[in-house]
Structure 1
């Protein structure tokens, strides 16, 4: 029979949010373990497309306690640089990470929470779920999608133009991933870029620093009962990182409106206009990866888990970290996850100490 181990806190997920949680749990002198399903350090950054770049310079893309070093020759570091930084971060702080460990479910077990994994169980006084969203790509229910005869990829599966070499490619999505992947393909691919509404580029001098400040100002205004500032959405949808800016200036990023349906050889708009396509890349976002929380039955009618900050209202021993603004302003970003991670660790220390 597999033994059950005990600790004060279990952190589920060893990406950027799990590392930030570990940093602050250590500062609170708590006993904890981080369980990471990935085989190697770096979280989701190991699995992005090759040309992905951050929206901010390295110094403004750091986890708590250690600045990200600049990347030589790059104002905005690429994903490989982030992976190297995260690997160094967990080594520097000697964070107790076990991998690869898949968490199957979290259960109530009297005064404790029981974490069931493929390598045995854990009992803990508190759990931080920090699994992110990368592992749950969202595909919209577009008529005809199942019958499309060509290749379909989500942004989570796209790596480089070689995957669609020689194809007529349709990129769907007007956010940062859509713009970056469209820019990646625009120079030597027959490309059609489709967006739900006309793309809104942020001013060229706006990057992740300003986005974090806008998200934080919005959350403070809402918490204080003031008028909603609109946050990041008020500034635009797409950060004009250099590759996007260059493709846009060359006239290669002209977006068409969203089509009505998919047909076997392409797509069709409501007026009957068609475009041929051999491949579709869906840059349509992600959903929180929370299936391991199903045994706790925390989801409401619309699948949302109610929280106060990072703490779940119906299970105060559980904190959610890094899933977006609903678990802390800009908490799904490197620079933004620090504050909610600090707050979660403080609350857990009070819970455990009480």
Structure 2
């Protein structure tokens, strides 16, 4: 099977991928298959339906409490009831967006590998993928990787973890606080999801909150200046090839309605990270045991980029060197929704910036 030629191949149809596809459309690119002589693009998505990670969020994540929602470029989110589940509103919005701009996302298609077609640094990248009917392949002048992090939940390891007799789950698999009623839930983490779920779960049962470092609460709120500072810090990390970390890890903790609600109920009580896990408890640094029926790991996600391994871009530190969305060591590859563009605002901007560089490159050829 010969790879199908395409100018730009976008991997992922979440916030970042759809932003890139929109800007490709604006710059005169057309979906692969339109034979009018224009440059072409194709968008591949591993999900069965539109909506990216939003379709998998827990039902109680409402539109009124979703953190940092921003519209996709060119088409605003239609007015929605603040109490409506985000996993219902936003996937429908993404589907409407794909139709509105005729993006023709191909799904479900799982990309297996991205590799260089030959040794020519100005040559093509080969993208090997799989759908329900079998293997697929494309030859692309540029690849825009927008696979995000949802499929790569991060689970820390602690002594005795496999001996735990209760339930362990990651935020990735959380559905409802009701399933934990009358159980003691140890919540691990200090990010936005950890605090949201601490607030929610503590309304129906006993919780015990731990994290590696104690949050330093900022009463000023998460304003534009703080966001810019956070993004700049993560940008510097990815330029050096360090694992990007999260924007929250740079900005620290900011008061939110769910943090304030948990504080009012007396649930927002921080404890240092446990040192080991026992069959029915966790062992604290002072040697005492805290009983546990459930351990909920709100410990974040990692970049879903295993399919890029054939390009050999990972540094010894474990990251990929990226500057302004472009892979420093493979300029035909753009990583958006990676590092500083993991936020919704950053993802939109990254899609635009990647397309600008592609257009500039083509003009210079």
Counting only pairs closer than 5 Å after superposition, residues 14-163 of structure 1 correspond to structure 2 as: 14-30=13-29, 31-52=40-61, 53-56=65-68, 61-73=70-82, 78-110=86-118, 111-119=123-131, 120-163=136-179
- SS state of the match for residue 137, structure 1? coil
Match of 2:350, SS state, is helix
- 1:345 equivalent among 351, 355, 363: 355
Instruction: Name the counterpart of 2:241.
Output: none
From 241, 261, 266, the equivalent of 1:246 is 261
In 1, distance between residues paired with 2:41 and 2:353?
Answer: 16
1:239 and 1:88 mapped to 2: Cα distance?
A: 34
Work out whether 1:322 is the aligned partner of 2:334.
no
Secondary structure in 2 aligned to 1:287? coil
Matches within 5 A, 1:252-291: 252-291=267-306
The one-character-per-residue Cα deviations of 1:282-314 (angstroms, maximum 9, x if unpaired) are 011111000010111111112211112111111
2:153 & 2:113 partners in 1: Cα distance?
20
Counterpart CA distance in 2 for 1:209 and 1:239 is 15
Displacement of 1:259? 1.1
Structure 2 counterpart SS, 1:246: helix
Q: CA deviation at 1:202?
A: 4.0
Corresponding residue SS for 1:7: strand
Matched-pair contact (CA < 8 Å) for 1:131–1:290:
yes
Please give the root-mean-square deviation of Cα atoms over the aligned residues, in Å.
Answer: 2.4
CA distance, structure 2, for counterparts of residue 112 and residue 347 of structure 1: 17
Structure 1 unaligned regions, length at least 5: 223-230, 326-330
Task: Tell me how far 1:210 sits from its aligned partner.
Answer: 5.9
Aligned length: 334
Which residue pairs with 2:3 in the alignment? 4
Q: Give me the TM-score of the superposition, normalised by structure 1.
A: 0.87
Distance 1:209 1:45, change over 3 A: farther
Q: Give 1:70 deviation, angstroms.
A: 3.6
Partner of 2:343: 333
Match of 1:195 in 2: 211
Gaps of 5+ in 2: 30-39, 238-246
Change beyond 3 A, Cα 1:107–1:218:
closer
What is the rounded CA distance, in whole Å, between the counterparts of 1:234 and 1:121 in structure 2? 39
Distance in 2 separating the partners of 1:208 and 1:294: 37
Inter-partner Cα distance in structure 2 for 1:44 and 1:81: 13
TM-score by length of 2: 0.84
Q: Is the 8 A contact 2:153 2:301 kept in 1?
A: yes
SS at 2:295's partner residue? strand
Alpha-carbon contact 1:55-1:208 (below 8 Å) kept: no
